[in-house]
Structure 1
Amino acid sequence: MPTPPPTGPLVTRATLAADLRSLGVRPGETLLAHSSLRSLGWVNGGSVAVVEGLLDALGPDGTLVVPTQSGGLSDPALWTAPPVPEAWWETIRDTMPGYDPLVTPTRGVGVIPETVRTWPGALRSAHPQTSFAAIGPRAAKIVEDHAPDCRLGERSPLARLEAMGARVLLLGAGYDSCTGFHLAEYRIPSPRVEVGRPVRTPEGSRWEVVTEVSISSERFDELGADFERDRPVVRGLVGAADTRLFPVADAVAYAERWLQTHRSREEWVTDDAPASRRS
């Protein structure tokens, strides 16, 4: 049986940059991008072309930021997809390589963030599970001093992006991936949880447990739909991808009010087990 031809549209670095400009991406701005390569169509050059197109649209004075999470660096007791035998847990904790921003790969966020992570000149924040990577003149200010006990809160790159007027680009991605909503969870009464992960020290890797705000993307799609109904959100196509563009600050402020009204403690389903490990 012959192989069917690829489905389109044919997308290139130049068409991506043009579509992003038509959507409203401005040269010189700071953009937090959540992305799906598959949604764009047939991309000539794959994730490299996407990153090049994003950087072209932003220009030399703009800064591109992506989540480079490494959720696999987590407590094996929480793994469910697949689980591992309880008899292995202690050995896994004792031998798991600690987080290294230059080496540790991303997990569960797609190929575009992994491409940004390894891009020449990219900088990455220090949190062992919820890091961000950035390219551009504001990169250092965004990723520096990401506190080890503050995944997505006031001492994370999200708060800096909010303060500097950055915008969110959902490039074929849904509101369930919008990390900015998590910053709102730090500003409302939220459960706290113990979080374990390996960290790198001069003496080698060691297991560390910190107390953190419990985060959850449960109902983020519903939150996003209400946000889009009530607040200005730019929508359009980039390639074949349904794309949205809006300020980080707007998303955080709306989510803070929405979560306090709509989410109860009883329905809180935490994301403390990494997405790639959950059933």
Structure 2
Amino acid sequence: MAEQPSAVGNDAARREELAHRLGSLGVRRGGVLMVHASLSGTGAAPELVRDALLAALGPEGTLIVPAFTPENSDTSRAYREAVAGMGVAEAATYRETMPPFDPDATGCPTMGALAECVWSTHGAVRSAHPQTSLAGLGPRARQLLRWHPRRSHLGRLSPMRRLYAADAQILLLRVGFEVCSAFHYAEYLTRPRPPRRTYRCVVGDKGNWVEYRDLTLDDSDFGEIGSRLPRRMLAEAEWASRAVVLCAMRDVVGHAKGQMSGYRRALA
């Protein structure tokens, strides 16, 4: 009777196959790669995908994921959805008991299984922003994520600027450009600047609400912006029955900035 392949063996083969596919797509060994991913329906554990990404990058490469926590706010869509249907007293209690952001302990459930896996991996680095932190693994992660002031979600003072300077690549693994957070960096580069707004979140201790101002970020047209990108900017493949897209951050941010500076201004 033939011996059945073990689950461990299957995982190793699948990890190797994905790493090879990513390398063939153009993921640079030794580079910086920011990944947005949906693993739903793949049957692949997030650890397998994380390890495949690290294998494609090689020991000198650095993997970055968004580890956003919009739940830690009373000015976010996530908060409004959470309190929808609550009475005044119940909503007040909910707000009072919201836990503060802790980069070493606060999960990022809306970012997906891969992001949760990466930030919680031993040795991972995570930036300190209470709403738009980034997390990373690799030799450049600490340098890229070292400083992230509240007043710059994803702007010139944030790690996003350092990813741009590092000529990072962006990988959309079974997701579309509507979740491409690098387009937010393009918002900071547009002229005239988008309007600013007030944000609030909990930091340090429960009940310690802080308030700050930053750009009014708007991702409602990101999918449309992505659809207008020249195809020459994109390397495309398929994995687990859905599209995989690789691109250079500088290229797509520059093109997104041009689009925003045009039609967004016309609509203002």
Q: Structures share a fold, TM > 0.5?
A: yes
Q: CA deviation at 1:95?
A: 2.8
Q: Secondary structure at the match of 1:108?
A: helix
Partner of 1:86: 88
Q: Are 2:52 and 1:53 equivalent residues in the alignment? A: yes
Aligned amino acid, residue 251 of structure 1: V
Partner of 1:119: 121
For residues 1-279 of structure 1, what are the structure 2 equivalents within 5 Å? 12-38=14-40, 41-43=42-44, 46-75=45-74, 79-82=79-82, 83=84, 84-188=86-190, 189-200=193-204, 205-229=207-231, 231-264=232-265
Question: 8 Å contact 1:172–1:243 — kept in the other structure?
Answer: yes
Q: Secondary structure at the match of 1:38?
A: coil
Q: Separation in 1 of the partners of 2:265 and 2:219?
A: 14
Question: 8 Å contact 1:93–1:198 — kept in the other structure?
Answer: no
Q: Quick one: structure 1 residues 265 and 89, their matched pair in 2 at CA, closer, same or farther if it must change by over 3 Å?
A: farther
Q: CA deviation at 1:218?
A: 0.8
Q: CA deviation at 1:228?
A: 3.6
Higher relative contact order, structure no. (Cα contacts within 8 Å, ≥ 6 residues apart): 1
Q: Separation in 1 of the partners of 2:194 and 2:81?
A: 26
Q: CA deviation at 1:180?
A: 0.6
Q: Secondary structure at the match of 1:116?
A: helix
CA deviation vs aligned residue, 1:206-237 (integer Å, no higher than 9, x gap) = 001111101011111110011144x5211112
Q: CA deviation at 1:264?
A: 4.7
Q: Secondary structure at the match of 1:195?
A: strand
More helix by share: 2
Q: Quick one: structure 1 residues 118 and 261, their matched pair in 2 at CA, closer, same or farther if it must change by over 3 Å?
A: same
Question: 8 Å contact 2:63–2:138 — kept in the other structure?
Answer: yes
Aligned amino acid, residue 61 of structure 1: E
Q: CA deviation at 1:187?
A: 1.8
Q: CA deviation at 1:263?
A: 1.8
Q: Separation in 2 of the partners of 1:91 and 1:265?
A: 43
Q: Separation in 1 of the partners of 2:226 and 2:144?
A: 25
Runs of at least 5 residues in structure 2 that lack an aligned partner in the other structure: 1-10
- Report the TM-score, using the length of structure 2 for normalisation: 0.87
- Report the TM-score, using the length of structure 1 for normalisation: 0.84
Q: Secondary structure at the match of 1:186?
A: helix
Q: CA deviation at 1:241?
A: 3.1
